[in-house]
């Protein structure tokens, strides 16, 4: 992997915390590690802003150094790029995706972040298209987005997303196979003393390309979403400033009314904003608290309470069945149960058998159906 040409070992400041590495290898490893933590949601909420700022600084430094070193050329093909340099192609994707995760203080800051994310992700998709990394279906989708033809019909968009998801699953399975093959090649190399380096290099290059394809598929999903969010921000701005106060009011209007027992409470005050003949009109409406009451009766107990009650009743039934008096059994049943040596049970069985024999004598076979006549 390429390092700084000037050989400087001066640390890059990350705006707080430990200093960032100075080599391309170190910056890439740091960026990938922190970006993965942010994407997986493993960063605590109170540290998320600081970690996001560190990731943004690392990716910007990495992007600047790639440009300074001239790692990539506009007229080169994918085969011309060294295997160790392939992960650097994902720098713009990670930086663009990070802009969507950064905290913002208002609609204007969010709009700027969306514009930067759109530019970075579009540049990454254009590079993937130029290097023939995109699959044919993904390339067709990107050409449509690039031309500004608008979103496809809902059914077509759904089919494209399903096909993209299936390709992602197939690529994920292939990457898992590559990991296993690389582990087997490493074990064979240790045993045989070398000779499988070429196969391992080919597998590693394939894994890098599959990762770039996965990033491109995610970018294809993000770019249309960015455009929709920008339209929403523009509409909110046209209505007279849709900042955090308006989002808070919308959230309050959608929140359920807890604590309004018996229909008490003043209710919600909702402000309707409309634009008529170029003039903003505001209308306040007091919504009664009972509007948001559930239409069905609430549960009378929690799931834990219901489970405890069911367990207690089951144990009580089992205890009753265990202590319930056993009915008298016949001699055949005693023999089958292995209790024919119990004198008390034998006496009861003898009485039961004699009663059964007496009943059969009083009711011979066919007694209730004379000459096959039911009446």
Compute mean pLDDT per 10 residues along the chain, 375 residues long, and list them: 39 58 86 86 81 88 88 87 89 89 81 89 90 88 84 82 87 88 79 66 87 89 86 79 46 40 46 52 48 71 88 90 80 81 83 87 73 58
Q: How far apart are CA 68 and CA 84, in angstroms?
A: 18
Q: How far apart are CA 42 and CA 51, in angstroms?
A: 11
Q: What is the pLDDT of residue 313?
A: 92
**Domains in the chain, please, with CATH?**
72-236 (1.25.40.540), 304-372 (no CATH)
Q: Using CB atoms within 10 Å of the CB of residue 18, give its burial: 0 to 12 exposed, 13 to 18 middle, 19+ buried.
A: exposed
Show the CA angle centred on residue 353, arms to residues 350 and 357, nearest 5°.
Answer: 135
* pTM for this entry: 0.56
Q: What is the pLDDT of residue 76?
A: 87
Which H or E run contains 270? Answer: strand 268-276
CA nearest neighbour of 214 among 81, 48, 97 = 97
Pairing of strands 279-287, 268-276: antiparallel
Alpha helices by DSSP H, the chain? 24-40, 45-69, 91-101, 107-130, 136-147, 154-192, 197-238, 244-254, 303-323, 331-337, 343-362
Q: Are 36 and 55 in contact (CB under 8 A)?
A: no
For residue 14, the number of C-alpha atoms closer than 13 Å in the C-beta half-sphere is: 23
């Amino acid at each position: 992997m390429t390092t700084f040409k000037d050989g400087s070992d001066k640390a890059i400041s990350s705006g707080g915390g430990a200093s960032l590495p100075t080599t391309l290898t170190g910056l890439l490893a740091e960026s990938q590690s922190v970006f993965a933590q942010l994407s997986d949601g493993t960063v605590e909420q109170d540290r998320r802003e600081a970690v996001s700022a560190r990731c943004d600084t690392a990716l910007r430094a990495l992007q600047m150094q790639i440009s300074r070193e001239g790692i990539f050329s506009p007229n080169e093909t994918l085969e011309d790029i060294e295997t160790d340099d392939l992960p650097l192609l994902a720098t713009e994707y990670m930086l663009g995706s990070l802009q969507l995760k950064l905290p913002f203080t208002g609609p204007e800051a969010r709009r700027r972040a969306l514009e930067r994310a759109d530019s970075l992700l579009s540049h990454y998709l254009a590079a993937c298209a130029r290097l023939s990394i995109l699959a044919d279906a993904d390339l067709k989708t990107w050409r449509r987005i690039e031309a500004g033809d608008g979103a496809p019909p809902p059914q077509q968009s759904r089919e494209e997303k399903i096909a993209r998801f299936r390709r992602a699953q197939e690529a994920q399975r292939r990457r898992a196979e590559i990991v296993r093959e690389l582990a087997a090649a490493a074990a064979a190399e240790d045993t045989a003393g070398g000779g499988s380096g070429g196969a391992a290099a080919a597998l590693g290059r394939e894994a890098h390309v599959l990762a770039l394809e996965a990033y491109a598929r995610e970018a294809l999903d993000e770019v249309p979403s960015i455009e929709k969010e920008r339209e929403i921000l523009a509409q909110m701005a046209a209505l007279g400033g849709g900042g955090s106060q308006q989002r808070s009011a919308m959230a309050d209007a959608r929140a359920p009314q807890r604590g309004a027992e018996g229909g008490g409470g003043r209710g919600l005050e909702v402000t309707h904003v409309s634009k008529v003949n170029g003039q903003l009109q505001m209308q306040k409406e007091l919504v009664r608290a009972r509007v948001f009451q559930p239409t069905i009766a609430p549960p009378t107990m929690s799931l834990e309470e219901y489970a405890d009650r069911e367990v207690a009743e089951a144990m009580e039934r089992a205890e009753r069945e265990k202590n319930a008096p056993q009915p008298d059994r016949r001699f055949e049943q005693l023999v089958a149960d292995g209790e024919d040596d119990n004198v008390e049970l034998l006496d009861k069985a003898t009485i039961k058998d004699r009663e059964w024999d007496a009943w059969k004598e009083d009711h011979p076979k066919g007694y209730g159906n004379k000459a096959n006549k039911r009446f």
